[in-house]
């Protein structure tokens, strides 16, 4: 990087005035120079001038009374001096040369070997190098600021994916302080084993992975849906990996809620169409049977008429139930204490829990958690989830956990059982109308539950594995006074 070095302010630190005059004459003899040259006759005065008015370049004699030029270099570093320092000595000494370079001197000159050409070359090199280093430091500060302030997790690992550097965004995303992550492996934070294997193989063969959707595990063992972008680099035969983790958990929740809403709306339209088409002929059948009952000539005929009438009524009631569950829930939302709603629901389930000898664990915070809710509707929705959990557990070994806590914006309810669990395929269909795993179920209970929870602007997540139980996590917006 070129600089106008001939206008530089130079300080010569030398306790020998004759040597100062000789050195300054070499500098002034450089063609076209307009250097401003000052003299410090002692170590102490030189450090004082460095503190008060930093110069563009320093020439420092190696011998400065009780102190040395190397001592000057060390103290200049401690005081944050970024200007180049050239060490001068009366005669060449390899050990002094090495020391000078070790402590940051840009050059090492022997006074007896000085000439104008060598001095000009030294000044040009020193100032050019200083300008380059300052530009690099400015860029480093700029990119370090971007690195630290980024809301996305930005990281660097070694070739084996062990973290070398990571910004503070990782604490917001995964709960780990940045210092705690250093030394951990990136794969330690990824949820599924096949994803870890894919990442390692991809970096071995393709050197990069772009916007790959992958689940990360937080310090609290929660899942976060993210996109991962990484690329393998090579620096002086030392491989490293740099990457970005972008949180898309909220986006996925919105997509999931929209998809569920679309499914419910489509199912509702289908139900209303079918109900209309079925009820018309059903009404005709019912009216005809009522008319024929008056004309029945024997008990056998009356018996069959009653069977037809009862089943017609059953079909009609089923249609009414389908229509009811497919309608958007109409709620009267008021400020409610979520703990008291849960207490009411648990009291309804106590007999079922007792009969199956299922243990119950409940954990609430001491303070009241208030939400906007239709008390009776929300009780029905939560009751349905609890009953499903109880029915999924074996007698004598069941454990039902109900845990409630709050963060800054939401009340978070966790309902966990150790029952039979649900396959990944069936989890995706859990809230679909008419889907059920129960032998005699209709498949409308959780559809109705989802309808109510969505009307409460609640988010519901289900995590389950066959044979390991199921966890429902429901987040309700906290009540706001305004």
Q: Helices (DSSP H) in 92-241: which residue ranges?
A: 94-102, 116-149, 169-174, 178-181, 193-205
Lowest-pLDDT range of 13-22, 26-35, 210-219: 26-35
Looking up tokens 């063992």 gives 221
What CATH number is associated with residue 260? 1.10.287
pLDDT tens digits for 184-205?
Answer: 999 999 988 888 888 888 887 7
Nearest to 37 by CA among 61, 17, 51, 20: 20
Residue at 482 is within a domain: no
Same domain as 229, residue 142: no
Residues 462-481 pLDDT 10s = 888 899 999 999 999 999 87
Model pLDDT for residues 398-421, shown as the tens digit of each residue: 999 999 999 989 999 999 999 998
Q: Please determine, for residue 455, whether its predicted confidence score (pLDDT) is greater than 90.
A: no
CA distance 58 to 37: 10
By the 8 A CB rule, do 23 and 61 touch? no
Please check the confidence at residue 373 and state whether its pLDDT lies above 80. yes
Asked if residue 376 and residue 311 are part of one domain, the reply reads no
Give the residue numbers spanning the domain of 256: 252-326
> 57 — phi, psi (to 5°)?
-155, 140
Same domain flag for 24 and 140: yes
- Higher-scoring residue by pLDDT: 147, 43: 43
Q: Which of 120, 146, 172 is the last residue of a domain?
A: 146
Report yes or no: 421 and 469 within 8 Å, Cβ to Cβ: yes
Q: Is residue 404 part of a domain?
A: yes
Q: pLDDT band at residue 442, thresholds of 50, 70 and 90?
A: very low
Model pLDDT, residue 223: 86
Q: Are residues 283 and 238 in the same domain?
A: no
- pLDDT tens-digit profile of 234-289? 765 678 888 999 998 888 877 777 776 776 677 677 777 877 788 888 888 888 88
Whether residue 256 is found in the same domain as residue 242: no
103 beta partners: none
Asked which of 293, 326, 359 is the last residue of a domain, the reply is 326
CATH number for the domain spanning 352: value is: 3.30.565.10
pLDDT in tens, 279-332: 888 888 888 888 787 776 777 777 888 888 888 888 888 777 677 666 665 668
Query: What secondary structure letter does DSSP report for 395?
Result: T
Q: For 318-358, what is each residue's pLDDT tens digit? A: 777 677 666 665 668 899 999 999 999 999 999 899 999 99
Query: CA 151, CA 169: separation in Å to the nearest integer?
Result: 6
- The H-assigned helical ranges of 175-298 are 178-181, 193-205, 249-294
Locate 181 and state its tokens.
């992550």
My answer on whether 307 and 380 are in the same domain is: no
Per DSSP, 58 falls in state E
Query: What average pLDDT does the structure give for the chain?
Result: 84
Same domain, 338 and 459: yes
pTM: 0.50
Q: How many domains does the chain have?
A: 4
More confident residue, 229 or 443: 229
234 belongs to a structural domain: yes
For 85, the 3-state DSSP assignment is strand
Fill in the DSSP letter of residue 329. P
Query: What's residue 148's pLDDT?
Result: 73
Q: Does residue 32 sit in the same domain as residue 126?
A: yes
Mean pLDDT computed over 410-436: 80
**Residue 303, CA atoms < 13 Å, CB-side half-sphere:** 3
Q: How far apart are CA 454 and CA 74, in angstroms?
A: 67
- Those residues with Cβ within 8 angstroms of residue 66's Cβ, 6 or more apart along the chain or in another chain: 43
Nearest 5°: the CA angle 401, 402, 408 is 135
CATH number of the domain that 183 lies in?
A: 3.30.450.20
Within this chain, do residues 399 and 347 fall inside the same structural domain, yes or no? yes
């Amino acid at each position: 990087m070129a600089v106008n070095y001939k206008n530089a302010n130079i300080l010569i630190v030398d306790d020998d005035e004759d040597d100062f005059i000789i050195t300054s004459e070499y500098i002034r003899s450089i063609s076209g120079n307009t250097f401003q040259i000052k003299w410090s006759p002692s170590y102490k005065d030189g450090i004082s001038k460095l503190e008060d008015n930093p110069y563009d370049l320093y020439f420092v004699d190696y011998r400065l009374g009780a102190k040395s030029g190397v001592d000057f270099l060390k103290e200049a570093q401690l005081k944050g001096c970024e200007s180049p320092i050239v060490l001068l000595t009366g005669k060449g000494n390899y050990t002094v040369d090495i020391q000078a370079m070790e402590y940051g001197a840009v050059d090492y000159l022997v006074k007896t070997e000085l000439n104008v050409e060598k001095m000009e070359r030294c000044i040009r090199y020193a100032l050019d190098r200083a300008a380059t280093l300052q530009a690099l430091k400015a860029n480093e500060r700029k990119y370090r600021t971007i690195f630290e302030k980024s809301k996305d997790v930005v990281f660097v690992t070694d070739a084996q994916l062990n973290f070398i550097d990571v910004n503070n965004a990782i604490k917001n995303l995964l709960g780990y302080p940045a210092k705690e992550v250093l030394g951990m492996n990136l794969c330690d934070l990824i949820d599924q084993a096949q994803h870890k294997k894919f990442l390692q193989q991809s970096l071995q063969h393709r050197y990069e992975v772009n916007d790959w959707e992958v689940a990360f595990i937080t310090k609290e063992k929660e899942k976060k849906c993210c996109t991962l972008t990484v690329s393998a680099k090579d620096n002086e035969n030392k491989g490293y990996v740099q990457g970005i983790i972008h949180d898309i958990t909220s986006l996925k929740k919105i997509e999931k809620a929209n998809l569920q809403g679309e499914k419910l709306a489509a199912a509702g339209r289908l139900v209303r169409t079918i109900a209309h088409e079925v009820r018309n002929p059903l009404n005709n059948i019912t009216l005809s049977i009522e008319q024929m009952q008056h004309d029945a000539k024997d008990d056998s005929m009356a018996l069959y008429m009653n069977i037809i009438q009862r089943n017609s009524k059953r079909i009609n009631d089923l249609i009414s139930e389908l229509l009811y569950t497919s309608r958007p829930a109409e709620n009267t939302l008021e400020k409610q204490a979520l703990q008291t709603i849960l207490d009411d629901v648990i009291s309804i389930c106590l007999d079922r829990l007792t009969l199956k000898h299922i243990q119950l664990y409940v954990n609430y915070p001491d303070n009241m958690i208030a939400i906007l809710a239709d008390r009776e509707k929300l009780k029905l929705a939560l009751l349905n989830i609890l009953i499903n959990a109880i029915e999924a557990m074996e007698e004598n070994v069941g454990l039902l956990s109900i845990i409630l806590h709050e963060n800054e914006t939401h009340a978070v309810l966790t309902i966990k059982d150790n029952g039979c669990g649900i396959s990944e395929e069936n989890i995706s269909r859990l809230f679909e109308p008419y889907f059920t795993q129960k032998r005699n179920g209709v498949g409308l209970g959780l559809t109705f539950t989802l309808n109510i929870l969505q009307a409460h602007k609640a988010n519901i997540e289900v995590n389950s594995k066959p044979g390991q139980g199921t966890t429902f996590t429901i987040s309700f917006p906290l009540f706001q006074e305004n």
